[in-house]
Chains A and B, each alone.
Chain A
Amino acid sequence: MFEAFLDGLAGMGNPAVIGAIVLGTVLGVLFGVIPGLGSVIAMTLILPFTFGWDPIIAMYVFAGIIGTASTGGGVPAILLNTPGTIANVCTTFDGFPMTRRGEGGRAIGLAATASALGTLFSIIVLAALLPLAEVMLRAFTPPDFFWLIILGLIAVTFASRQNMAKGLAAGGVGILIALIGFSPVFGVRRYTLGSEYLWDGIEIVPLVIGFFALSELIVYTSRGGSIARDANVNLGGFRQIMRGAVEVFQYKAILLRGSVIGTVIGAIPGAGGAVANFLSYSTAKQASKTPELFGTGYPGGVVASESSNDAKDGGILLPTLTFGIPGNGEMVILMGAFVLHGIQPGRDLLVNRLDIVWAIILGVIAAQVLTTIIILGGGAWLARISLVPVKYIAPFVAILSFIGVYAVRSNIWDVALAVFAALVGFSMRRAGFPLITMVIGFVLGQLAEEKFTQSLQISGGGYSIFFTRPVSIVLLLGIVFMLGWSMYKAAKKNPAPQRAEP
């Protein structure tokens, strides 16, 4: 483990690695700064182009994006009152009032430093837990895995905060899409309609590019104008930025709490940066002696928000690297990158490809440092990107998407699939179905089927295997609790009408 870490550290002197980190960081910051685009679209667009690259280099690019987008997203939240990513919403509460007071630079300094420290904290926690990952893997048998996947799917559905029935339906459709193609387990073709293209199932790259990047473009293009509309940027000078950067340490408790919340929430599939962001902000406010200051341009509010949304990075990588269970859109794309580069998450990754694990960890840290420098130096300039009209951004993203989709397998049907997925994705958005649940259902569907079959084969067909192992029982209780809690909340929100007296 330590040897692989040292090798990874030594490899960071390689010009290709430096280039990959810079590329990932620049993409992450740019897509983070442009509201609505974010890290998922940045990772989706670069994914096919990494095909044929050394997997280590590709992982540094992805790590660069993972580590930076929500940091970049803090800039328009502070300067334009428009969060760059959904995990930056709470930054607007105090960041924008600071800008209106002429303290935008101070807020950016606070945000960038809090982000960097939050990331560092969570990555250290991840690195400390990695040696235990193999023990965890040994403890997880196929029925435990099956329940973990179901728990993850339900957690993602709840976290989408949309209609639960629609979330579960979208997840179910995702699982059904995953079943398309030749099943090596059963040796039969399913739902291929006699088409050779569908023989190997639906490819993840065109699917996610269509769902995430192209459908988002349809939304933007139909809206027109520019993404952010307010151009009154008041930064207040470099001295202010540096003042903010140092001032973070006056809010140690908020910083630590935000980092812990981000790391823990990040590790729960589906919870992600947005939940961590709100939880950290509200907890900081509740614990504060001066809660009335929150929302008025209080520096502690910016620290609470920005430390948590970046601290989720370390937490969220843990289930992805260890069990191959992606907790959010970023991790879905990272899983797609693993597939593209022949990397198998789990034991294979943790035993044989520790170089990949360390590339991701070190990449996230290096990118975070680089982002902090970029944002401290040029935050205000970056924020102006959001003022570029959509009509200039959309064709650029569309062309990149189509080239990327075609580049992986040189198959024109992949482009057609991406267009189809974009239309389906757009329709789903309009109808209120969460895309992320469907894509996670798609990624986990085959795994769920595999673990279910394995469990029955191990037990010789007996279903009791799902209810007798200690880990399975704990996970099952978690599922029951989650469903029960959601029903309780729904019942409390909409009490049953009392029967009228005759």
Chain B
Amino acid sequence: MARIGRIGRFGRLMLLAGALAAIAAFGAACGDDEPDFPTRDVEWFVGFAAGGGFDTASRIIADKMSDDLGVNVVVRNIEGGGGRRAVQEIARSDPDGHAISIMNMPNQITAERLDPEDVDFNELSWVGRAVIQTYGLYTASANDFNTPEDLQGMPDVRFCLSGLAGHSFLVASVTTEVMNIAWNPVTGYRGQETQAGLLRGDCELALGPIAGTTLTAVQGPDFKVLWMYSSERFGPVPDAPTVDELGFPELGGSKFANNGLVAAAPGTPDDILAILSDAFDAALQDPDVIAGINNAGMGVETLTPDETAEVVEGMDGIVSEYIDTVRQKSQAQ
């Protein structure tokens, strides 16, 4: 009896499991295709300190996305390594869409190439572009050079830069190679110190996003913008020519801008990515969100997930093309 009883219990368990499987299969066949997302709060990683430009933009967008997604989109600052810790965190997150991260691109690609940490940016699931800051090259007004030709005739033009691993260093390396300008970096200049360096004559040129205090400075009498890294004239500095106008379209577009791109973990399902992307896009259509980002010195030019992935691929190509130049110049210092 005992033996028959055990078989009976096993049989009943099998029957129950079969019934549950059938119900689940029926449910799946009859239900719609909407994924069960989000099931909890979504975390938005920022690789920089609270209060900075990317952090401010992230909080503005996340707040609006919360309304759309019906859960909180919580900004979490994961500082470290110039934003690289947040990149690593998103690269190893579960691909369920409950974590996304903003990252400064193509700066992160350059950093990864110079000091590899096994992050493949083409594998990340891109949501879109949050912000963009257009780069420009500027100098002290007292200097009498204005065009690439003027600079070509000078021995070793000095650029005031933050360091040898940043985006500005890459842009300076590419610019001088494409324009055939002899140059040297002078590093350790951030914020206002860059402008002080130009005025003191520590260096002849500086480049960076023309936004915030830099925009205020170049609109004043002490500095002038030689060109903008864009294909269209930059509204706040309308007199500055674009690199396209100067005959260097390969430096134009937005590939040398400082892009705040947002990604989810690699392998995030398309349907979940679509929900995130729709909420993200809707937030960036909101006039209050746009005004908030503009007030923080950044612009809004939205991209779809596919367009974002293409932009990243393009950045990856450019960085790959010039990384040896960057490395050589860096090692020469």
A contact residues vs B (CB 8 Å cutoff) = 52, 137-138, 141-142, 182-189, 196, 199-200, 341-342, 344, 346-348, 351-352, 409, 450-451, 453-454, 457-458, 460
Contact = CB atoms under 8 A, between A and B. Distances in A.
11 contacts: A185-B164, A187-B115, A187-B165, A199-B80, A199-B85, A200-B79, A344-B191, A347-B193, A409-B79, A457-B333, A458-B203
Given A186-B330, A187-B111, A196-B85, 11 more contacts: A52-B50, A138-B200, A141-B202, A186-B164, A187-B163, A346-B193, A347-B193, A351-B192, A352-B213, A457-B186, A457-B333
A342 B184 contact: no
B192 A347 contact: yes
Contact of A138 (B191, B196, B213): B196
Contact of B192 (A138, A184, A348, A450): A348
B82 A182 contact: yes
A185 B163 CA distance: 4
B81 interface: yes
Q: Which of A450, A458, A460 has the most CB of B within 10 A?
A: A458
A185 B187 contact: yes
B5 to A, nearest CB: 54
A184 B193 contact: no
B267 interface: no
B277 interface: no
Interface string B229-260: 00000000000000000000000000000000
B116 interface: no
Contacts of A183: 163
A200 B49 CA distance: 12
A348 B193 contact: yes
Nearest to A183: B163
Contacts of A199: 80-81, 84-85
A92 B163 CA distance: 52
Given A183-B163, A184-B162, A187-B164, A454 B196 contact: no
By Cβ-Cβ distance, the 9 closest A-B pairs, closest first, are: A187-B165, A184-B163, A348-B192, A450-B188, A457-B186, A347-B192, A185-B163, A199-B81, A185-B187
Contacts of B12: none
B158 A187 contact: no
A451 B84 CA distance: 26
A453 B200 contact: no
Contacts of B134: none
B199 interface: yes
A188 B81 CA distance: 10
B195 interface: yes
Contacts of B193: 344, 346-348
Nearest to A454: B188
Contacts of B184: 457, 460
Nearest to A452: B188
A453 B330 contact: no
B156 A460 contact: yes
B185 interface: yes
Contacts of B164: 184-187
A187 B111 CA distance: 8
A184 B200 contact: no
